[in-house]
A and B are shown apart, each in its own frame.
Chain A
Amino acid sequence: MIPPGLQANPSLDRWVGFPAPGVVRIAFGKVEYGQGALTALAQIAAEELDVAMPQVEVANAATGAVPDEGMTVGSMSVEVSGASVRAACAEVRALFVAEACRRLDCAPGQIDIRDGAFRLDGAPSGETYWTLSPAIDLAQPPSGTARWKSQDQHRLVGTSAPRLDLPAKMFGGGFIQDVVLPGMRHARVLRQPGPTARLAFLDEAAAWKAAGDADLDILTEGSFVAFISSSEAAAARAHAAAEPTTRWDTPRDLPPQVTEAASLKDMASTELEEGAPVGGPSNRRRLQAAYSRPYIAHASMSPSCGIAWFEEGRLRVWTHAQGVYPPRLQIARITGLPPEAIEMEHAQGAGCYGHNGAEDAAYDAAFIASRRPGAPIRVQWRREDEFGHSPVGTAMRVEMTAELDAAGRLADWTTEIWTNLHVNRGRTLIEPALPQGPPDLPPPNQATAFGGRLNAAPSYDIPAVRVKEHLVINSPVRTSSLRGLGGPVNTYAGECFLDELAQAAGKDPLAFRLEMLSEPRARAVVERIGAVCGWDRRGPGGEGRGLGLAYDRHRDRGAFVAVAARVSVDEEVRLEHLWCVADAGLIINPDGAKNQIEGGMIMAASWALKEQVRLEGAGVASVTWEDYPILRFDEVPSVEVELIVPPGAPPLGIGEISLGPCLAAIGNAVAHALGARLRDLPYTRDRIARALLAD
């Protein structure tokens, strides 16, 4: 079978090349943002081609230079792109083996390849990929017959190759912010207080005065304003000076209560449903509970940056967006240029964890460059722009109803979700400021509104399950994809409610889960998490120390993941230790996988204890690290990760699998410690005190 990515980009030379002796060039459409995708995909390529890792050169993602594989999202780089890279490399290897057999007059079974050198009956043949390469035209589609290696033949896949991109970042380089182009000019953009705001007065005199004698250039078009200078500091000073005295008509004015997830229930929504028909009346024991997560910031360490250069009718854009092809369409719309006139090149940014400001900074730069041809334009957002104007992860409220039968088994389950959009790539920050205004996009529907219902059905054998989503399309602020989309919140809610049900049924939470799990791989991770966390010594709880666990199957079809948390709680929650046991099938790079899982758990811990975007007035009101604290070095728990790799299982995504189970394990551990349950995130001192009083 030819993987879909390779089918869509069928010419093998798009994926593999031999540009110089000893060098294999691999190209794919996924990009690196600290998650290790580049290294894992290079390992897959080196494995299939039988070359050494130092011989692999990964093409930087750029339009025209790499296959179009959309955006780098959903923990799918290894699972989806990896399948294409593997198949393309197996096809290329087969073509080269066939050519070697012609030259050496032998059968394919007599050839093996080491570090790119072809061996005949175990002895050097003198042929290599590079001697054979001139005879083979890779501009051909895959045959579909090449066979990739089986797991027992792997020598590179399954080893912890060090990250290819990390060394540069250890010595002071490696990021888009470090790119310097000849004659580059720096721009700062004045942001509208909400998409409806119209520029009424711009204090240009203040900007000029603050910039000093620098060559300031103020670009104004509609309600879009940029301060451009050869000096970054001067552009920043002009921006800072003009901002407080600029006047806007019809700014957004949000009431503070929209900060809370509960407010979603009061907003107009579209109803989406799936699952079993509504159950009839029953005399079974019925329980209900409501959980929520507030709006969460991506909170990338680097405020976003974009660079663009418009010269002789061609626009070149450097971006740390999650892909290079899809943003080109938006840039064409924003600049009025045809897509063919736009070249996009990826340059790495800090971790983004989803749709942060990266694309919007590129749109800013592209628009300014299109209006100021000749010099490269570098747009650097401020911290308050990143917090205040990049999309945020949506708040969610999750209400559940479940029925226990007379034997205390879970017989019927309903999840009802209130959420804003999780995937929202089309709505740009810049367009509402431009004269043409935002595009008229079709409203999301059952087919396109993705993310809110992920993991809304618990990952267990339950006789009847239904899910209803109330999707708020006109959200108070722009929301878009954040690590895991709705999955982590639904798992948090469902797995905490499951502990409540176990308690109601008088059963141990671990045993209650195992009763409903028939899938052996699911049982294996749940049983193992119990063993590693010392579940049998858990005790009754209620005295300030707690142990909790949770499980899900990521997105209902991915990795099997169990997490346990040990906490102590007095006035606030202290995280003592976290464990994770995961089965994500074949692991390409075990240390890289563990790094992602560990990081996801720390991020989830930070969401659980600290994070909430505050909305008020023009939009996001929490625009500094002081307003938006995250977990710090002296607050992080120690973490242990164990991977189970069943023989022959294909690889599954890793990047976002640990967040949901980790949130829920913390929730369950805190409930165990307190003997009272907190349901709304984050677990602040206030909420802990209120939960104890209510009890």
Chain B
Amino acid sequence: MDLMINGQTRRVTAEPTDNLLDVLRNELGLTGPRFGCGTGQCGACSVLVDGQDVAACQLEVGNLEGKSIVTVEGLGTPDAPHLLQTAFLELQAGQCGFCLSGILVGAKGLLDRNPNPTRQEVAQALAWHLCRCGAHNRVMDAVLLAASRMNAEPVR
């Protein structure tokens, strides 16, 4: 079957009932979505599916044909980082970093819907993403910093 991942069509051999997280990590080598709980409770594996921030561990790939899937690898690269990634690095928003793939994806989903969120809206959008190191305040600061820069830049 074909999946649309980070703007590219990727052919996968997986069964329709196979789990998206397993397919992304083990078949496609996309390690950004991370295994954290397998029950959709922590957000470490989250991806955008048609713009919605959802847990990849809860999705069967057979239901995803024709949908747009975005992982953290689709945001940017070290040479061409997304403004969110730049802001996160600038504010050192993270400690161990295990939760960051999911949080970055969730933040992108939020800013795509709401380019100018309040701090409270950022907190609510990210509330289902767990962070154990306690980097929450830096993360929220970084999302707001990225948003302000996106709004200041001409649309590309």
Contacts and interface: CB of A to CB of B under 8 A. Distances in A.
Interface of A: 33-36, 160, 162-163, 165-167, 169-175, 177-178, 180, 231-233, 299-303, 348-351, 353, 380, 382-383, 591-592, 595-596, 598-603, 606, 624-626, 630-634, 636, 638-639
B37 interface: yes
Interface string B130-145: 1111111111100000
Nearest to A591: B92
Contacts of B38: 382-383
Which secondary structure dominates chain A's binding surface? Answer: loop
Interface in B19-63: 19, 22, 26, 29-32, 34-39, 41-42, 44
Given A382-B38, A383-B37, A633-B127, A599 B135 contact: yes
Contacts of B95: 34-36, 351, 595-596, 599
Given A232-B22, A232-B26, A638-B137, A166 B89 contact: yes
A625 B40 CA distance: 10
B132 A350 contact: yes
Contacts of B137: 598, 602, 636, 638-639
B12 interface: no
B123 A634 contact: yes
A301 B88 contact: no
B89 A169 contact: no
22 contacts: A34-B95, A169-B97, A171-B76, A172-B101, A233-B18, A301-B130, A350-B132, A380-B35, A383-B37, A591-B92, A595-B95, A596-B95, A599-B134, A603-B132, A630-B130, A630-B132, A632-B127, A633-B122, A633-B123, A634-B124, A636-B137, A639-B137
B76 A301 contact: no
A383 B36 contact: yes
A573 B130 CA distance: 20
A233 B26 contact: yes
B96 interface: yes
Contact of A233 (B19, B31, B89): B19
Q: Interface range on chain B: under 10, 10 to 19, 20 to 34, or 35 or more?
A: 35 or more
A233 B22 contact: yes
Contacts, number: 169
B100 A603 contact: no
3 closest cross-chain pairs (CB), A and B: A34-B96, A602-B134, A172-B32
A172 B31 contact: yes
Interface of B: 18-19, 22, 26, 29-32, 34-39, 41-42, 44, 71-73, 76-78, 81, 85, 88-89, 92, 94-101, 104, 120, 122-124, 126-140
Query: Considering residues A169, A231, A636, which has the most beta carbons from chain B within 10 angstroms of its beta carbon?
Result: A169
B31 A301 contact: no
A170 B74 CA distance: 12
A351 B133 CA distance: 7
Contacts of A639: 137
A134 B48 CA distance: 54
A170 B131 CA distance: 14
A89 B81 CA distance: 35
Nearest to B88: A170
Contacts of B138: 595, 598
Contacts of A300: 98, 132
A170 B94 contact: yes
Nearest to A632: B127
Contacts of B98: 34, 169, 175, 300-302, 349-351
Contacts of B131: 301, 633
Nearest to A33: B96
A36 B64 CA distance: 39
Nearest to A626: B41
Nearest to A597: B134
Query: Considering residues B123, B124, B132, B138, which has the most beta carbons from chain A within 10 angstroms of its beta carbon?
Result: B132
A169 B41 contact: no
Contacts of A636: 123, 134, 136-137
A380 B71 CA distance: 22
Contacts of A167: 78, 89
Contacts of A606: 134
B83 to A, nearest CB: 12
Nearest to A178: B31
Given A171-B78, A351-B133, A634 B127 contact: yes
Given A34-B97, A171-B78, A633 B41 contact: no
Contacts of B77: 171
Nearest to B129: A633
Given A233-B19, A595-B138, A625 B41 contact: yes
Query: Considering residues B76, B85, B97, which has the most beta carbons from chain A within 10 angstroms of its beta carbon?
Result: B97
Given A383-B36, A598-B134, 18 more contacts: A162-B89, A172-B30, A175-B34, A301-B34, A301-B36, A302-B34, A303-B37, A351-B98, A383-B37, A592-B92, A602-B136, A603-B134, A625-B42, A633-B131, A633-B139, A634-B124, A634-B127, A636-B136
Contacts of A631: 134, 136
Given A171-B78, A172-B101, A625-B37, A600 B96 contact: no
